[in-house]
Amino acid sequence: MGFDGLTWLNPPLSETRADNALTVKTRGATDFWQQTFYGFRRHSGHFLQRKVTGDFTASVKFTGRYEALYDQAGLMLRADESHWAKTGIEYTDGERHLSAVVTNEFSDWSVLPYRQARDEVSIRVTRHGEAIRIQFEDPGTGQWQMLRLAYLKPAAELQVGVMCCSPEREGFEVTFRDFEIGPPIDRALHA
């Protein structure tokens, strides 16, 4: 599928497309967050998306030059400004973390240190009705591991695509490749 036909919510500083890859440089002070803990609302992050109805699985591979606190990249699903989820890698406490934020009017945040030598990360998100399943590919085994199973307020249509943000600086660079949206994977959670 690639990046053809997708549109930006909050265009980045720059973008380059070549060979099924998209390289983006972020603007400064960009983020997606709603109220919880910090008390602010931000909806300024970069999100390249298209509309999808019904259930689906979206996946992408990406690498980033993570240097500043909260540099982040990955996938996003969005119904509106107050109902969305983002997941991928976020730089915090001096290292990369698998990260998931689910927002149903208020944002939550979960992180897990990602101490893999491999720079490229593969993430996928599946929608099954009101539930979203977030998974990452284990570089050692090639198996998909569940990071999060969460509720997202049902909507007939969602915007789905890649996102990146850099709340603390301008110029975070990330390259996405092999972005796909297709039928949902099976609902079975356990092998």
Neighbours of 80 (CB within 10 A): 12
The pTM assigned to this predicted structure is 0.95
Predicted local distance difference test score (pLDDT) of residue 17: 94
Predicted local distance difference test score (pLDDT) of residue 1: 66
Predicted local distance difference test score (pLDDT) of residue 40: 75
At 119, the amino acid letter reads D
Predicted local distance difference test score (pLDDT) of residue 125: 98
- Domains of the chain as residue ranges with CATH: 7-182 (2.60.120.200)
* Residue 4, pLDDT above cutoff 80: yes
- Tabulate helix, strand, coil % of the chain (nearest 5): 0, 60, 40
Question: How many residues make up the chain in this entry?
Answer: 191
The mean pLDDT of 73-101, rounded to a whole number, is 97
- The DSSP letter of residue 189 is -
Structure tokens given for 74: 């990955």
Predicted local distance difference test score (pLDDT) of residue 41: 82
Are the C-beta atoms of 32 and 49 separated by less than 8 Å?
no
Q: What is the dihedral of CA 116, 176, 28, 90, to 10 degrees?
A: -30
- Tokens 């099954």, residue located: 128
DSSP class per residue in 85-147 = EEEEEEEETTEEEEEEEEEESEE--EEEE---S---EEEEEEEETTEEEEEEE-TTT--EEEE
- Tokens 């509720």, residue located: 151
Q: Which residues contact 70 (CB under 8 A, 6 or more apart)?
A: 31, 90, 91, 92, 165, 166, 167, 168
Cα(111)–Cα(69) distance, integer angstroms: 14
Average model confidence (pLDDT) across the chain: 95
Listed residue (104, 106, 90) closest to 155, CA to CA: 104
* Residue 112, pLDDT above cutoff 80: yes
